[in-house]
Chain A
Amino acid sequence: MPDPAQEGAEGIQGTLDFVYRSESRRVLATLVRLLGDIDLAEEGLHDAFAAALERWPRDGVPANPRAWLVSAGRFGAIDKIRRRARFDALSAELADRIEAEASEEPDAPPEGLEDDRLRLVFTCCHPALQPDAQVALTLREVCGLTTEEIAAAFLVSPTTVAQRIVRAKAKIRQARIPYQVPSLRELPDRLDNVLHVVYLVFNEGYLAAQGDLLTRSDLSAEAIRLGNLLSDLLPEPEVLGLLALMLFQESRRGTRTTPEGDLVLLADQDRKLWDREMIRRGRELVDRAFASRRIGSYTLQAAIAALHAEAPTHEATNWAEIAGLYEILRRADPSPVVELNRAVALSMRDGPLVGLDLVDAILERGDLLDYQLAHSTRADFCRRLGRREEAEASYLRALDLVRSGPQRRFLERRLLELDPPDHRPAT
């Protein structure tokens, strides 16, 4: 932090910006615990920074800015409730209670502060809230994104996001969703839900489902930040597994698209440009998760991603081991998407015909009929087998389902590159 002794008003502004970026989410989480209400805490946070802007230039930056802000926010909120209390007896009771608690415990214990963020994560990701609202609320309250930023990232209107957040906060308040880390007995299920929210955020950033930008890196970065926070506070094996998985995927970000925004397949990416530091960290996390001997589906997916990340070339990838891991994953967490991925790995080991039979079996069961990647994968197997017409039909089906611009352009290019029909007119 800059030295408070040597700064004028501009220096204070810089310090405030820095403190805001590094502390505002922690301060908010603690205020939510102290005030018992997210809206009150947000107002308190706002008051605290307004007070800092006024007093720090005059009195200097306090030794512990975080504790100062928590205390300013808490008393700002008590003032507000007091003013409302003139009109309503409930608010008066609330103000008394918060004030009494504040005098019992003048400064929040510093070791409790990080737990506050974890509490806030579990509140925002409570399964009694709508899934969309869990995502929006987590990004808003834990990551500090604005409503507009969330709306832009998910391609919905700011009004929609604002409504989701307002409704979720009302439910937290009225149905009394607790502000706490779940008990050990409930933790596995509740943690699953939190990890799912983080994964949704990451995926939205990793592969934009709609729109023209293939990667929306801001969301991926937020998801990784959440993953880091969780792995610091609650280093359960699956937390480490999910963070590793995200790091492996993110390590390839710069190579997944051309400068023009076109998609580059794994086989064609420039492996020299993959982020080695992320891959190294990912490997470390996967190893830690495996060492726990409690191996879940994120850890298995991360182990698969690790084999890709560490392969010197696409051809030299250990496809047999990848297929084996997909088989374990399929048994642990059965899903047709996992079967599809296993089919791809097996096709690399045993040839495209093996892959095609597996994909056709999935589609014949009626699974993944509306899943674009199932049809583009099938098209690719047919292309490799020289079955031009079948490949064309599957590419066309995939094109019907595709929503993102880069993916559409990729499929169109593949379609054009198919060998011309054998029955060319004789000349």
Chain B
Amino acid sequence: MKYLCLIYETESIYATMSEQDLGTMMAEYNAFTQDIKTGGQYVAGEALKPVQTATTIRIRNGKLSVTDGPFAETKEQLGGFYMIEAPDLTDALRIAGRIPAAKTGSIEVRPIQVFN
């Protein structure tokens, strides 16, 4: 079964992190990604540009509205995602728990709906 792991964290912390800490974090991400690729659990994963680059659209009464900013202003922002393959939620949560951002932010794990 596929699960989407949404990575929420306070973006501003990156501005205050030292080069060395940033390097350590990147190494952790690379190791994690490599690890789940080897284990056959990796489906996809990307990091997102900062939330200031977000644009939200809605169509109401046939009229498209485009606004600057994310769907909702929140303390933590969606910063990236992994799509993983796991037999059940327990396993998915175990994998998600190894995403480096779990230590500083939050990971929302959502099963992918399959339409028959």
Tell me the A residues contacting B by CB distance below 8 Å: 127-130, 133, 167, 170-171, 174-175, 189
Find out whether the CB atom of B67 lies under 8 angstroms from the CB atom of A171: no
| Chain B residues in 8 Å Cβ range of A128 | 55, 66-68
Complex partner residue of A175 from B55, B64, B65, CB under 8 angstroms: B55
Find out whether the CB atom of B68 lies under 8 angstroms from the CB atom of A171: yes
A177 to chain B, nearest CB (A): 9
Binds A, one of B45-53, B78-86, B90-98: B45-53
B15 to chain A, nearest CB (A): 14
26 pairs of residues in contact across A and B, judged by CB atoms under 8 Å: A127-B65, A127-B66, A127-B67, A128-B55, A128-B66, A128-B67, A128-B68, A129-B68, A130-B68, A130-B69, A133-B68, A167-B52, A170-B52, A170-B53, A171-B52, A171-B53, A171-B68, A174-B49, A174-B50, A174-B52, A174-B53, A175-B49, A175-B53, A175-B54, A175-B55, A189-B64
| Chain A residues in 8 Å Cβ range of B53 | 170-171, 174-175
| Chain A residues in 8 Å Cβ range of B55 | 128, 175
Smallest Cβ-Cβ distance to A172: which chain B residue: B53
A128→B67 CA distance, assembly (Å): 5
Smallest Cβ-Cβ distance to A126: which chain B residue: B66
| Chain A residues in 8 Å Cβ range of B67 | 127-128
B54 to chain A, nearest CB (A): 8
B3 to chain A, nearest CB (A): 28
A27→B64 CA distance, assembly (Å): 34
| Chain A residues in 8 Å Cβ range of B69 | 130
A175→B69 CA distance, assembly (Å): 11
B104 to chain A, nearest CB (A): 23
A171→B53 CA distance, assembly (Å): 5
A170→B68 CA distance, assembly (Å): 13
B62 to chain A, nearest CB (A): 11
A75→B81 CA distance, assembly (Å): 41
| Chain B residues in 8 Å Cβ range of A189 | 64
B49 to chain A, nearest CB (A): 5
Smallest Cβ-Cβ distance to B56: which chain A residue: A128
A185 to chain B, nearest CB (A): 11
Smallest Cβ-Cβ distance to A171: which chain B residue: B53
A170→B55 CA distance, assembly (Å): 13
| Chain B residues in 8 Å Cβ range of A174 | 49-50, 52-53
A170→B52 CA distance, assembly (Å): 8
| Chain B residues in 8 Å Cβ range of A167 | 52
Smallest Cβ-Cβ distance to B49: which chain A residue: A174
A267→B43 CA distance, assembly (Å): 72
Among B49, B53, B64, chain A packs the most CB atoms within 10 A around the CB of: B53
A297 to chain B, nearest CB (A): 15
Smallest Cβ-Cβ distance to B64: which chain A residue: A189
B89 to chain A, nearest CB (A): 34
A174→B68 CA distance, assembly (Å): 13
A162→B83 CA distance, assembly (Å): 39
Smallest Cβ-Cβ distance to A168: which chain B residue: B68
* Cβ-closest 9 pairs across A and B: A127-B66, A128-B55, A175-B53, A130-B68, A174-B53, A174-B49, A171-B53, A128-B66, A129-B68
Smallest Cβ-Cβ distance to B65: which chain A residue: A127
| Chain B residues in 8 Å Cβ range of A170 | 52-53
A379 to chain B, nearest CB (A): 36
Smallest Cβ-Cβ distance to A131: which chain B residue: B68
A168 to chain B, nearest CB (A): 9
A167→B51 CA distance, assembly (Å): 11
A137 to chain B, nearest CB (A): 12
A167→B68 CA distance, assembly (Å): 11
| Chain A residues in 8 Å Cβ range of B52 | 167, 170-171, 174
